[in-house]
């Protein structure tokens, strides 16, 4: 595979990680090696099986609708046909994490940046930065869901606006993305299910987030989430539970983020594992195995 071009290390929602050129590239599909396809196959099969009864139906059904399977790394252009017809989104191939504003601008334009390269076989279980498996397997299916797709666009548009308000609103927004798009849980008649891409693309966290007694599980409330710090180096201490994707969309447009930033201005952040008296607690975590510091 061609080598991705790192341009800088920046503090992002994944910690101090490389940020890549902002250029959108063509997915160099012909350059994937047999080993790359094999890595995709191994991860795809393992997660698809593990997520039965754990991921929400919208994720499982939409992933199937995309027509992807274990046999080969999907072509972005094939996925675009499904996305365009369902919700008007398209994928753009990128080298890796983008600078924040560039990322928001893509979302606002209904373009989802997907890292084109895939991890190597030694990184099957953990990789600190997003790769093709995380971005494509984890994020793309829910872009077929009209309400979630609208939420993602509204989030991007909110990010573009927040960039003009300074650091605090951007931090608030990053936490919202973290605890919803990446690590969100949803309540269903059959019990709690996963919809966050950071969880569905992780074998360990797919089990831990739902079945471990250690983490807190708390009802989603947008202001609460926007004040809450998080972990980038371990499983989360707290997961927030939505009732439906409408909850997310309402949080972005009704009210607009503007009054929320005003309400939150100057308030202390909340440590990742803390439960507040005002929380609607689904499960109070035992805290077993939690690191004592390192929330960001
Ligand atoms: Fe992600």
Give the mean model confidence (pLDDT) for residues 214-242: 94
Catalytic, 211? Answer: no
Residues within 5 A (CB) of ion ligand 1? 130, 197
Q: How far is the CA of 163 from the centre of ligand 1 (A)?
A: 20
Pick the CATH number of 6-283 from 2.40.110.10, 3.30.230.70, 1.10.800.10, 3.40.50.10860: 1.10.800.10
The three-state secondary structure class of 244 is coil
Q: How far apart are CA 279 and CA 224, in angstroms?
A: 9
pLDDT tens digit sequence for 40-95? 999 999 999 999 999 999 999 999 999 999 999 999 999 999 999 999 999 999 98
Q: How far apart are CA 291 and CA 233, in angstroms?
A: 10
Q: Residue 9: pLDDT band by 50, 70, 90 thresholds?
A: low
Q: How far apart are CA 103 and CA 188, in angstroms?
A: 31
pLDDT at 136: 97
Q: Which of 95, 105, 106, 201 is catalytic?
A: 201
Q: Residue 96: pLDDT band by 50, 70, 90 thresholds?
A: confident
Catalytic, 288? Answer: no
Q: How far is the CA of 277 from the centre of ligand 1 (A)?
A: 31
Is pLDDT of 187 > 60?
Answer: yes
Q: Which of 58, 95, 105, 134 is catalytic?
A: 134
Neighbours of 75 (CB within 10 A): 12
Q: How far is the CA of 255 from the centre of ligand 1 (A)?
A: 25
Q: How far is the CA of 128 from the centre of ligand 1 (A)?
A: 11
Q: How far is the CA of 100 from the centre of ligand 1 (A)?
A: 13
Q: How far is the CA of 115 from the centre of ligand 1 (A)?
A: 10
Give the mean model confidence (pLDDT) for residues 12-34: 76
Beta bridge partners of 91: 112
Catalytic, 201? Answer: yes
Catalytic, 182? Answer: yes
Q: Over the chain, what is the mean pLDDT?
A: 91
Give the mean model confidence (pLDDT) for residues 19-34: 84
């Amino acid at each position: 595979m061609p080598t991705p071009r790192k341009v800088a290390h920046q503090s992002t929602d994944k910690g101090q990680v490389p940020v890549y050129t902002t250029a959108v590239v063509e997915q160099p599909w012909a350059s994937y090696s047999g080993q790359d396809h094999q890595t995709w196959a191994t991860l795809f099969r393992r997660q698809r099986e593990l997520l039965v009864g754990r991921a929400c139906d919208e994720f499982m059904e939409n992933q199937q609708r995309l027509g992807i399977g274990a046999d080969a790394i999907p072509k972005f252009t094939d996925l675009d046909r499904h996305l365009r017809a369902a919700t008007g989104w398209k994928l753009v191939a990128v080298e890796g994490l983008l600078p924040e504003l560039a990322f928001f601008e893509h979302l606002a334009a209904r373009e989802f940046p997907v890292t084109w390269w895939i991890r190597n076989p030694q990184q099957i279980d953990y990789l600190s930065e997003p790769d093709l498996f995380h971005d494509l397997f984890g994020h793309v299916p829910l872009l077929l869901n009209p309400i979630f797709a609208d939420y993602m666009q509204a989030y991007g548009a909110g990010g573009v606006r927040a960039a003009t308000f300074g650091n605090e609103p951007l931090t608030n927004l990053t936490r919202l993305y973290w605890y919803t798009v990446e690590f969100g849980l949803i309540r269903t008649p059959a019990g709690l299910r996963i919809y966050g891409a950071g969880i569905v693309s992780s074998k360990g966290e797919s089990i831990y987030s739902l079945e471990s007694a250690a983490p807190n599980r708390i009802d989603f409330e947008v202001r609460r989430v926007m004040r809450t710090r998080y972990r980038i180096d371990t499983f989360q201490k707290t997961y927030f539970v939505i009732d439906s994707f409408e909850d997310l969309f309402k949080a972005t447009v009704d009210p607009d983020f503007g009054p929320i930033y005003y309400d939150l201005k100057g308030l202390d952040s909340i440590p990742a594992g803390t439960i507040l008296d005002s929380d609607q607690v689904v499960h109070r975590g035992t805290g077993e195995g939690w690191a004592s510091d390192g929330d960001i």
